[in-house]
Structure 1
Amino acid sequence: MAETAPAETWRTAHEAALLPALGRPQRLLTHGSGARVWDAEGREYLDLLAGIAVNALGHAHPDYVRAVSEQAATLGQISNYFASEPQIALASRLLALAEAPAGSAVYFCNSGAEANEAALKMARRVPAGPGGAPRTTIVAVEGSFHGRTMGALAMTSKEAFRAPFEPGVPGIRFVPFGDEAALRAAVDETCQAVIVEPIQGEGGVRNHPAGYLRAAREATREAGALLVLDEVQTGIGRCGAWFAFQRPDIGEGIVPDVVTLAKGLGGGLPIGATIPFGSSAAHLLQPGQHGSTFAGNPIVTAAAGAVLDVIERDGLVAAAQDLGERLASALMKADGVTAVSGAGLLRAFELPELDSHDVVAAALEAGFICNAVSAHRVRLAPPLIVSAEQLDAFTAALPDIIAAAARRVKDKEKEKEAAA
């Protein structure tokens, strides 16, 4: 399809060929470079979403392109009947970055949902406690998002996501967000695991109150259950640490039993990882109890290795922390913004007087890609290679974007009045 294809042409082709469950795309993007992308009509955008926190190195990073190209020209898919050097090297490196204890291991898969499915299977294998009561429940938090496959979906709290596919995987118990007492009460001898995001992503980029993750760690340890941290969106430097739980203000020194990863790990290619900490957790799944045809293939693991190389070499973890604080400070100065949440370069700003979809639409028209993560919150998750100047360009444009969003509200109100 030509790059100059009019919108009605590509939209018609998209609707004719792709499942409508995917939704209606906003633009036809054709290429990118760094933190910028271009659409089929030649318009340029600053990408402040990075494929939903995926493109850690932005678009067409030369080191990333080189690693993928060289590996594709050497060895591609081999199945898990065989091993490859990129796979082993990546697993070893993740264990080191996670500061995982001896006996820990990595299971590679293809997405965050699959990483959480593996964690769910591990939880189902947790043995009964001293009292012998069967373990039948997994505790998740209201506002959570863990994926769209049936097991991950069961642990995702949004009723609208789960209801069309009931009955789902049984035994999931949701506790109110931020309620430490409810969390502790739910983790009893029947509990297999607690699964929690260090910062809720799809729930609005929400930070848990101080002490919440520590309470989850204490409760699961007392009950003999697993503490599973879903770092699919928060991991790989996104929040100013390799893993969000490693930040003292988030993890408060806890050590989890299982960590799940995806998104930024692959830098644009599909890869997920489930990391059980310690030999007890690592041996919950025995040979033949889980697997995946494509998981950990040489191309995606080489790509992930390149992502880690560049992040480490260029100091992007520290940069995410510094730039994130700069961004948060600038966002709070904008008229109408009442709160900024998140950490590092995973942020949301709240505009209680505006529909976030109107703000995102106005931002897109102004040349900025962001995301309506909840009714009044806009999510920003730019590439880790984004510059201070690029972030400053967005915050400088934000007052005009907010004003344009307010005009959109008034225009819709006038249309309703005219139609009445």
Structure 2
Amino acid sequence: MSAPQMPAVPAGPAVMTPVLTRRWASPDSWSIKTYRRLDGYEALPKALAVDPGRIVELMKNSGLRGRGGAGFPTGLKWSFLPQGDGKAHYLVINADEGEPGTCKDIPSMMADPHSLIEGCIITCYAIRSEFCAIYVRGEAIHSLRRLTNAVNEARAAGFLGRNIMGTGFNLEIVVHAGAGAYICGEETALLDSLEGRRGQPRLKPPFPAVAGLYACPTVVNNVETIMSVPAIVMGGSDWYRSMGTDKSPGPKIFSLSGHVTRPGQYEAPMGTTLRQLLESAGGMLDGIPLKFFTPGGSSTPIFTPQHLDVPLSFDDVAAAGSMLGTTALMCFNETVSVPWAVWKWLEFYKHESCGKCTPCREGTGWLVQILRRVVSGSGTFEDLDTLTDAAGNIAGRSFCALGDAAATPILSGFKYFRSEFEDLVTGRTPPVVESRLLVGAH
């Protein structure tokens, strides 16, 4: 794997000293030797020396919000676990990174796995858990190997197992390989998969905090979220809040892909704009102007150049009509057909639907069939009306967010680029794909 590109962000509010990626460029950054040389495992004794409740309060005060897409306050999520209930408590790390355009967790686990391990240990101590499972996407074989080696190194150093550092705290961490199902990125489908069942979302309530893994109280957090924990323990909540925005504090890894000169992972404060990130990435590829982009992956409503200066924080992006999601910034230039991009996204969601609920199982198939007609030049205006009507009826009516994700590209694509769909219907623009290439397509 080539080294990730980490150029500094431009002058202004985006300038910062790397926190999440500070060890990435170090030789053998994945080894415990390098990690400990660069302040690794120094947060752990500090955390183990105080009451677990104080760690939960520290996370609340820091304002850390989940980096997996939802942006839920991390400390608040931890506090939902009932205490004194006599049940085992579990921590599950969602490392099933499958959102199109998202590629921050896998390089993080590759370059700095011990940061995740130390974060897991502190989190388990805070929520009074003695077992943690890290659920990694099955195709990420190198990350699986790095994490497994890191767990073994941590255990050999006395940071895992029984009576950790003489405190009486016990913990085991298991690295589990998934099977490459996008649906298992949904937390309850992930839990079913961990338990050996087919990965399908559960009805909620009950929520995982009450009945999660093996029907016990469970916290499910994203990789980047937990990797932030040691730094917060070391620096404190005020230091963490000195970066980012008031409601979305801290640093963030932004994944830039598509038609940019230097695609890669860029760490910057929350609230950084795409304009600033593009300056860091050398601008749009070949100087062809930006046409549209996703602020958080294909399941978030698309933005246009008018949104270049929207601060990339949870609240600012929501106020502008989209979601920050996983900060997967897929950038498309003016050569790209929006109907074609929407069709390709819908093919993905149709393929990845688990089939448990009717709106998603049937609806994604209908949407793909209609879109195929439109992009091949054989669609009608009635088809366009059906697309918006069907997407509107799928959104909010499925077991999990996959149905919403499938509806999002259509609804936002029509919002900003309906004329492109109409031009394909009227023949004003030629088909973006020949109908003969769609014969037998699935």
For normalisation by structure 2, the TM-score amounts to: 0.29
Report the structure, 1 or 2, having the larger helix content: 2
For normalisation by structure 1, the TM-score amounts to: 0.30
Report the structure, 1 or 2, having the larger strand content: 1
- Which one has more relative contact order, counting CA pairs under 8 Å at least 6 apart? 1
